[in-house]
Amino acid sequence: MRLALDLAAEAARSGEVPVGAVVTLGERIVATSANAMRGGHDPTAHAEMVAIRAAAKALETPRLDGCALWVTLEPCAMCAGAIALARLSRLYYAAPDPKGGAVDHGPRLFAQPTCHHRPDIYAGIGEAEAAGQLRGFFRDRR
């Protein structure tokens, strides 16, 4: 999670919402990313989506069985759907997102009967730092 938090801080410095993501396979870091929506003019370039795409490319497979995703904010519905489709084994996230999250808030995508894969979920790792990054980012823009 330390690396994801550092990536989120870098994103904030470049004007992106501070969210960072890392995909691991065992002890190996497979892919890293941060939000890139503004810079890439891509509304789907959430940190999770970019990391999942990069990991699938690096491993040359659309299925990320055995991989873990570490992200600094609870994934939204789009990202949660991608996590399920990629068959990630574990999801670690730092800060909850009561407004836009879709794992433990909102639609709770993995609990839906139409969701065919549910990763093991570990929430709250690095929560205080991630929440502080987000609060500071939005405070500075108001």
| Catalytic sites, residue numbers | 48
CA dist 9 and 64 (Å) reads 26
Beta bridge partners of 34: 20
- Tokens 């502080």 locate to 132
Q: 113: Cβ–Cβ under 8 A, 6 or more apart, which residues?
A: none
Closest CA to 91 of 24, 39, 36, 32: 24
- 46 annotated ligand binder: yes
- 79 annotated ligand binder: yes
- 117 annotated ligand binder: no
Cα dihedral 31→37→43→45 (10° resolution): 0
Summarize the annotated binding site for Zn(2+) as residue ranges.
46, 76, 79
Summarize the annotated binding site as residue ranges.
46, 76, 79
